[in-house]
Amino acid sequence: MGVKAFLSKPLAAWTVAQQQSWMEQPGQAQQQVFEAIIRKGAKTAFGRDHYFKDIQTPQEFAQAVPVRDYEALKPYFDRLKQGERDVLWPGLPLYFAKTSGTTSGTKYIPITQDSIPNHINGAKNALLNYIHETGRAQFLDGKLIFLSGSPVLEQVAGINTGRLSGIVNHHVPAYLRTNQLPSYQTNCIEDWETKLDAIVQETIHQRMTLISGIPPWVQMYFDKLMARTGKPIKDVFPDFNLFVYGGVNFAPYRTKLLESIGRQVDSIETFPASEGFFAFQNQQDDPGLLLLAQSGIFYEFIPAEEFHQPNPRRLTLAEVETGVNYALIINSNAGLWGYSIGDTVKFTSLFPHKVVVSGRLKHFISAFGEHVIGEEVESALQAAMAEFPEVKVTEFTVAPYVSQGTGASYHEWLIAFDTPPHHPERFAKALDLHLRRRNSYYDDLISGNILTTLQVTPLPADAFQQYMKRQGKLGGQNKVPRLSNDRTLADGLLEIFR
């Protein structure tokens, strides 16, 4: 056992011991977080606008601060982008994390000096919990790869700005830098295929022990390694024994990923977002993710069925129940207040409080991390139809196609045309371009050749009516989802009309 692995074990034991207090008393831990962030938030423009100086309890906070998404808070974010200080949190943000928006295009999520430890310590503590539980720390003596975005940052109002994964790359602990791959130069390559070739070249002869990344990106890495060597990953990297992932639903990728590896490996699921690092898997035999109750985020939970009601209940961590679908609302030391991140969670246990990510508040596609939502596909189709005025559409839905072999992955648009386009290929290209303009993550995936351009599958004008009739759901009260993160609807349609 090397020095890093040896020294990690007492650190892991100390970290887990420190967790016990807030795991056993999460309500008290959350109250401490609440009081701390309200006290600092009172010194900001947002705090003055919402009378933070008069707020004593979470209930008073819920009365004073409405639930908002990015678009509703955008006037405050815009002031930050103009260089104004003390808007949402004292001072200026340390970073802006760029992420895909809905109606506002690219979002700029503030990360402050106070909130950056949440992102860094969340990932670090996930590994330390694994070491403490299993006693397996040998992966720290090998090479570790974090498949991430470019660490090159741009300036917005003098604030470093980039993808969250690229920002976090700047904060990898010094003791892991010598283990980390790929090199900084390779990590800065923008084109994904070029970058992936360089990563393969750098790692193929290394003793890789930990691999971390979004599952489809990791699968592409594995595919290139196997094509290059003709071997399964277990033979390319015999000491690879820990896979860390998050960001998308792993289920569609699990079978192929394990087949590519050729044997079982331990894994850790995480729940990261640009807005914060919320939870991680702390036990190998429990898929529930430990919610981080003392990391600068005060959580609120709205029963999902109440979310669109005028006055939904806003519950604290002390008030939640298992098995209920909750919309996750955060208030944080990044200056996010009453912020709906769009995810829903269910608690699988209390004391400790563990969650699974149960979905999104709206229909969506995020099979590859793109977070495409209904408004984006609807407006993209409308814009494409404006260019092809002959086109008339009766109904449509969009689903991901995840390649199970060497072929390409893409979005499949199943469109029931009343009048089809005169030039179908040109129409599909225009549709793809309009979606890329609306969703920067999707654009990144196309630019990086992770996805190929969307494919349009034409259907008869009454296709959706026939399908809904077969399902016993024909009627005005039943709506066809504009998009789904699985292929249940798409495959059901293709079974009839293939």
Residue 187's nearest CA partner among 174, 175, 176, 203 is 203
Same fold, 1-361 and 364-497: no
Angle of helix 3-24 versus helix 26-41 axis, rounded to 10? 90
Q: Which of 51-60, 244-253, 259-268 has the lowest mean pLDDT?
A: 244-253
| Collapsed DSSP state (helix, strand, coil) of residue 21 | helix
Confidence of residue 102 (pLDDT cuts 50, 70, 90): very low
Domains of the chain by residue range: 1-361, 364-497
Residue 225 reports pLDDT greater than 50: yes
Confidence of residue 470 (pLDDT cuts 50, 70, 90): confident
364-497 domain in CATH 1.10.3470?
Answer: no
Q: What pLDDT shows up at residue 100?
A: 64
DSSP string, 328-339: EEEEETTS--SE
If you average pLDDT over every residue of the chain, what do you get?
91
Whether 198 contacts 182, CB under 8 Å: yes
CA dist 288 and 353 (Å) reads: 9
Q: What pLDDT shows up at residue 476?
A: 42
Q: What pLDDT shows up at residue 251?
A: 60
Residue 103 reports pLDDT greater than 50: no
Q: Which of 4-13, 432-441, 450-459, 462-471 has the lowest mean pLDDT?
A: 462-471
Long-range contacts, stretch 165-171, CB < 8 angstroms, 24+ apart: 167/95, 167/97, 167/111, 167/119, 168/119, 168/120, 168/123, 171/116, 171/119, 171/120
pTM of the model: 0.77
Q: Span 248-272, mean pLDDT?
A: 83
Residue 233's nearest CA partner among 224, 248, 222 is 222
pLDDT digits (tens, 9 = 90+) for 146-189: 888 889 999 999 999 998 988 998 888 777 788 899 999 999 98
Q: What pLDDT shows up at residue 248?
A: 66
1-361 domain in CATH 1.10.101?
Answer: no
Confidence of residue 366 (pLDDT cuts 50, 70, 90): confident
pLDDT digits (tens, 9 = 90+) for 61-96: 999 999 999 999 999 999 999 999 999 999 999 999
The CA-CA-CA angle for residues 293, 23, 173, to 5°, reads: 65
42: CB partners within 8 A, 6+ apart: 48, 52, 53
321: CB partners within 8 A, 6+ apart: 347, 350
Q: Span 274-291, mean pLDDT?
A: 96
Residue 477 reports pLDDT greater than 60: no
Q: What pLDDT shows up at residue 473?
A: 63
pLDDT digits (tens, 9 = 90+) for 383-416: 999 999 999 888 889 999 999 877 899 999 999 9
Dihedral of CA 168/170/173/176: which sign? positive
Residue 108 reports pLDDT greater than 80: yes
Q: What pLDDT shows up at residue 253?
A: 64
